Structure 1
């Protein structure tokens, strides 16, 4: 068998309807990790779907583990081992089988969350894009490469499926610490998030971090008549708005030095030189005068920090009184890249507010969940050039290289805790409506994704040992 034959097997799995049938089975299993009382359903996805699937791929008996936090969805680890040769690469494949809530009443007539409906190039159903369609695609491509190589891959595979990503991946980090030996690998190859656009294959190497925090000001008990007391009582809405304006200016540029990132590395800037964002027909029109001055739109979202006001409330917005409100509250979010001092965010914001005359405003983290840290595999890493060449050879298209995703993923569990180089090859696209009604994946992107992943897995066997040697020599 040849590389082309392996890719042909993968695309035939699409053309024959075999992959669609497999994905229908996965989507038909509701796995809403954000809804209460779903423990049995989340476990069933692993027991009834993933375990039989990986068994036919030659994985050893998979193990399902309870979540270390004792509350959220379980984890599955499976391994397909071909030998103890130290030069044989081991790849970790990751995915999450949980979804956001289905909300069937919100879907367009004729559509629903738990049944795939095909309309032209779109396959509708909850989890098609996020993330069942993506990790099932990777396993389906792996199966075809195994068959093409007559059962001998030329590398080892470990699989990690979690069932709580849509709830913030609770327990993932302690689980990776506990299972570090079982998950020890040479590289992570996974799929989540969207491509740059529906047409262009994409490789990203990490993700921006996200830290949500609250600003609040409680000045007195109850509202007071704005005619009798306006001009005499400090208005918390006005004060809080002024405090926010001291942190981020009217065009969205961050004014707090401690919240700004380090200079953009030249390798990152070069990788983003041919990246165009917002060109998808369904994308909102980019505000050209918004964001950090002197940066391209791609640099603003993939290489810089943004401070966003997610919510602001004072008084009763739906029924305003003619009164000075007693308190105000805002939730802000810092999306940040590697090198940002996010660990001291609260302390630094506190110092800024004090220095600008706002000691009365309280600042605190907005939620108890762990912060998604910023991660980025250096673009110069040998794995990156290999992956780009493989993707282009399989698709005939120059892939987009994003040093990190603009959004956030729990990639720090793999890059920081497990110490892995991380390669993410998404199979979704920006307008997939993930998390909302009418979620879907594109059939054309799915077929191309099967070809890309089959090519990657084939090439891993061919080039993996040499990449390991080159990385060892660079260390």
Structure 2
């Protein structure tokens, strides 16, 4: 069990304001990976923030170029205490999404960390500068207290997670020996809810699907031509309804996963979704009603319409539009046959009379997860349950997407994700914030996990 004095030091560090001050320094770097100005900030963040933080942990630090020109550089820190000790791999991403300047409430600047009650506002505060700072702080506290970690440490930072992690697969495959480890412990994404410490073991995959009904060069008067010209907006609405009905149920067998396993059902059986203040109300009858909300969110597939448009909705004219487009997204669980998604959709639409709708797909992250009954999962849950005043929830997969597959599939690691945020953090939107109580608890949880790994990790490995 973690020594009480180490827990006290973790809490005192947070309560002193030192963590807030350090996070404010991280947030001020506008490390937006899909904007040219962000590339300069990303390099400064790596050299001025992360490299010194890793060096302070006794790591040797190496910067690596990205094999994909669409992506930014990688940073690896390595501390080897003994070949006989277990090796921990940590991961974080230095990039953030657009700041949405001018759209934050109370005139807040996204690049200035601002405290308002329990909310600390700033771009990257939750996704995910605050999260990797918690883990770096926990490692630093452990090292200061004991003089050693008790395990070997490797820390990988990428700089393009928000744009799909270009080049990460190739980089990890080429650096397998450098990144070899016994287990991954990382932090990103949200907890089950604000109150529940959570471990998730993997992620669903994602693929974007564009539908385009581009039927003619011009719009034509609806009085003169209505009833004899095919309307692309009506066509597109019908095509979408062939893929996912008006109640959120997927209509294409190829897009469905296999049945949920008993271990996944058991892990999700007691979990409640959307029960905290500020959470949106769940819609009755939406999605596969044969599954619980937790099963639909963490173990099943969803097909969502992200955007749809034809003509100008703000200034409609009496004309049949010439073109209608939509962007959909499939979030899919491990075991889904995702190969050829666009071909399966195109065939499904053609068989129902919608061959005029063009289909294209853009892959995102692949699905992967560590088995619920993996020994590392039992170890981590036991440690966290001891130090937390609430039972830790185990999610086989969290609803979003992360590059978990590079660690499970390419490096062969068990993966433990300890998130330090919550679903209402507004990541990717104006008013993104880190919740102070979660961050305070997160430092204790992470410190406990690292302390146990350093003292008992050899038995676990």
* Residue 183 of structure 1: aligned partner: 179
* Residue 473 of structure 1: aligned partner: none
Partner SS for 1:115: coil
One of 444, 452, 461 as aligned partner of 2:454: 461
Question: For the structure 1 residues 21 and 220, does the alpha-carbon distance in structure 2 shift closer, same or farther, using more than 3 Å as the test?
Answer: closer
Aligned positions, number? 461
Structure 1 CA distance for aligned equivalents of residues 273 and 104 of structure 2: 28
* Residue 138 of structure 2: aligned partner: 141
* Residue 5 of structure 2: aligned partner: 5
User: Does the Cα contact within 8 Å between 2:27 and 2:125 map onto a contact in 1?
Assistant: yes
Structure 1 unaligned residues grouped into runs of 5+: 469-475
* Residue 421 of structure 2: aligned partner: 428
Q: TM-score, structure 1 length as denominator?
A: 0.93
* Residue 297 of structure 1: aligned partner: 293
Partner SS for 2:213: strand
* Residue 57 of structure 1: aligned partner: 57
Question: For the structure 1 residues 71 and 353, does the alpha-carbon distance in structure 2 shift closer, same or farther, using more than 3 Å as the test?
Answer: closer
* Residue 399 of structure 2: aligned partner: 406
Structure 1 CA distance for aligned equivalents of residues 103 and 149 of structure 2: 44
One of 197, 204, 208 as aligned partner of 1:208: 204
Structure 1 CA distance for aligned equivalents of residues 45 and 321 of structure 2: 49
Structure 1 CA distance for aligned equivalents of residues 183 and 26 of structure 2: 26
Structure 1 CA distance for aligned equivalents of residues 312 and 15 of structure 2: 56
Per-residue Cα deviation, 1:35-90 (whole angstroms, up to 9, x for no partner) = 21332211111111111112121112x011122223432110010111112xx211
Structure 1 residue 2, shift from structure 2 partner: 5.6
* Residue 472 of structure 1: aligned partner: none
Partner SS for 1:38: helix
Moved more, 17-26 or 420-429: 17-26
Structure 1 CA distance for aligned equivalents of residues 144 and 377 of structure 2: 27
* Residue 36 of structure 2: aligned partner: 36
Correspondence 1:151-166 to 2 at 5 A = 151-166=147-162
* Residue 82 of structure 2: aligned partner: 83
Structure 1 CA distance for aligned equivalents of residues 2 and 385 of structure 2: 17
Partner SS for 1:343: coil
Per-residue Cα deviation, 1:328-353 (whole angstroms, up to 9, x for no partner) = 22211111000011112112112212
Moved more, 130-139 or 355-364: 355-364
Structure 2 CA distance for aligned equivalents of residues 91 and 445 of structure 1: 23
* Residue 199 of structure 1: aligned partner: 195
Partner SS for 2:195: coil
Structure 2 CA distance for aligned equivalents of residues 67 and 167 of structure 1: 14
User: Does the Cα contact within 8 Å between 1:9 and 1:148 map onto a contact in 2?
Assistant: no
Partner SS for 1:237: helix
User: Does the Cα contact within 8 Å between 1:303 and 1:337 map onto a contact in 2?
Assistant: yes
User: Does the Cα contact within 8 Å between 1:39 and 1:72 map onto a contact in 2?
Assistant: no
User: Does the Cα contact within 8 Å between 2:2 and 2:452 map onto a contact in 1?
Assistant: no
Question: For the structure 1 residues 287 and 74, does the alpha-carbon distance in structure 2 shift closer, same or farther, using more than 3 Å as the test?
Answer: same
**Residue 336 of structure 1 pairs with residue 342 of structure 2:** no
One of 253, 259, 283 as aligned partner of 1:257: 253
One of 417, 422, 443 as aligned partner of 2:436: 443
Structure 2 CA distance for aligned equivalents of residues 115 and 362 of structure 1: 44
* Residue 167 of structure 2: aligned partner: 171
User: Does the Cα contact within 8 Å between 2:288 and 2:296 map onto a contact in 1?
Assistant: yes
Partner SS for 1:213: strand
Question: For the structure 1 residues 236 and 29, does the alpha-carbon distance in structure 2 shift closer, same or farther, using more than 3 Å as the test?
Answer: closer
Structure 1 residue 283, shift from structure 2 partner: 1.4
Question: For the structure 1 residues 311 and 40, does the alpha-carbon distance in structure 2 shift closer, same or farther, using more than 3 Å as the test?
Answer: closer
Moved more, 112-121 or 132-141: 112-121
* Residue 344 of structure 2: aligned partner: 348
Structure 2 unaligned residues grouped into runs of 5+: none
Runs of 4+ in 1 over 4 A off after TM superposition: none
Structure 1 CA distance for aligned equivalents of residues 353 and 260 of structure 2: 32
* Residue 22 of structure 2: aligned partner: 22
Structure 1 CA distance for aligned equivalents of residues 324 and 115 of structure 2: 47
Structure 2 CA distance for aligned equivalents of residues 71 and 233 of structure 1: 42
**Residue 232 of structure 1 pairs with residue 231 of structure 2:** no
Partner SS for 1:289: coil
Q: TM-score, structure 2 length as denominator?
A: 0.96
Structure 1 CA distance for aligned equivalents of residues 48 and 321 of structure 2: 55
* Residue 114 of structure 1: aligned partner: 111
Structure 1 residue 110, shift from structure 2 partner: 5.7
User: Does the Cα contact within 8 Å between 2:28 and 2:111 map onto a contact in 1?
Assistant: yes
* Residue 397 of structure 1: aligned partner: 390
Moved more, 374-383 or 233-242: 233-242
User: Does the Cα contact within 8 Å between 2:2 and 2:448 map onto a contact in 1?
Assistant: no
Moved more, 254-263 or 387-396: 387-396
Structure 1 CA distance for aligned equivalents of residues 125 and 215 of structure 2: 48
Structure 1 residue 438, shift from structure 2 partner: 2.1
**Residue 72 of structure 1 pairs with residue 71 of structure 2:** yes
User: Does the Cα contact within 8 Å between 2:164 and 2:364 map onto a contact in 1?
Assistant: no
Partner SS for 1:7: helix
